[in-house]
Structure 1
């Protein structure tokens, strides 16, 4: 899935991306608070409920290598510069997942989640550890630590689906 991630609080860049993004399935993520992003977006963009943040590890807070609990299977694959990890229960059902993209000396971890029926078993740590192994040495330390601190808020938006009644008529 494509997405835009704007790492600097740059209103002009956000406005340009928003005006030139027409697909509803390409999220725009920016390291600014929700009210700021909302003010920068043109009509037709929606911000989902909830919040996120860019997190960084506290120096020296390193966890032991994760161990997959009995009865679970880990699948990891790489495609188009993104490493994905999925943990499945013994019956093949979804238990946990996440993905990471390395961009120079940094790595962006995204969509890490554990199914509620499988929480509190260390699966999130297994996913995070698996993704950390895929990161460069510089970016890896961000994701190996237990302790995290908020570096910046992160807000997300996506184009709203257009109603068929409000679709513009193509020029002839």
Structure 2
């Protein structure tokens, strides 16, 4: 199995765990996740572009994540800016935050959530879903009032430490362009560019 397929498999399963959706169903070349939300009914996660599969999709609220940077999609689809499938070895260690912040780590059955609090205010957060040796990082966010203070790095370090403690060895995530810059500085490497698109409601 190609490395990107291994990481993609982990990401699809971990994303479903993180978002509490049904388990991904295998389809040719990837997975279908039945999300069931308004505007996001179903998501296809594919290792490569499959013209026949894409042509068969007609329902608004259908999303695509395809491991390719350039994909020709007809006008039915709204294409998002390129995203990036990335991975990194995980490691433990002490995670420090500035005195004005408080770090919280909450372990549940198959997820770990990290929150950095400023008093009663949520300053930054992130989540990881555990699937085999992989920890799939999801929903890493920093409040605009607390950016440029290293909190994103602290969240990632805390997730790495916590999931390593729970047996994970490799982190996987899908990043935006801005996120890619942060994660690259933290030692994450590119597995594949990802085309993200959704079927336009009113086309």
Shorter chain as denominator, the TM-score bin is 0.5 to 0.7
Classify the secondary structure of the residue corresponding to 2:36.
coil
Pick the structure with greater CA Rg: 1
Instruction: Give the aligned partner of residue 84 of structure 2.
Output: 53
* Higher percent of residues as strand: 2
Q: In the superposition, relative to structure 1, how do residues 122 and 38 fare at CA in structure 2: closer, same or farther (>3 Å)?
A: farther
Instruction: Give the aligned partner of residue 72 of structure 2.
Output: none
Matches within 5 A, 1:111-122: 111-122=139-150
**After the TM superposition, which of the residue ranges 29-38 and 43-52 deviates more from structure 2?**
29-38
- How far the C-alpha of 1:142 sits from its partner, in A, is 3.7
Equivalenced residue count is: 153
Structure 2 gaps, min length 5: 1-18, 64-77, 173-182
Matches within 5 A, 1:2-151: 2-3=20-21, 11=28, 14=31, 17=32, 21=34, 23-24=36-37, 28=43, 30=45, 32=47, 41-47=57-63, 49-57=80-88, 65-90=94-119, 92-136=120-164, 139-140=168-169, 142=171, 146-151=186-191
TM-score, normalising length: structure 1:
0.63
CA RMSD of aligned residues (A): 4.1
Structure 1 gaps, min length 5: 162-172
TM-score, normalising length: structure 2:
0.55
CA distance, structure 2, for counterparts of residue 96 and residue 153 of structure 1: 26
**After the TM superposition, which of the residue ranges 147-156 and 39-48 deviates more from structure 2?**
39-48
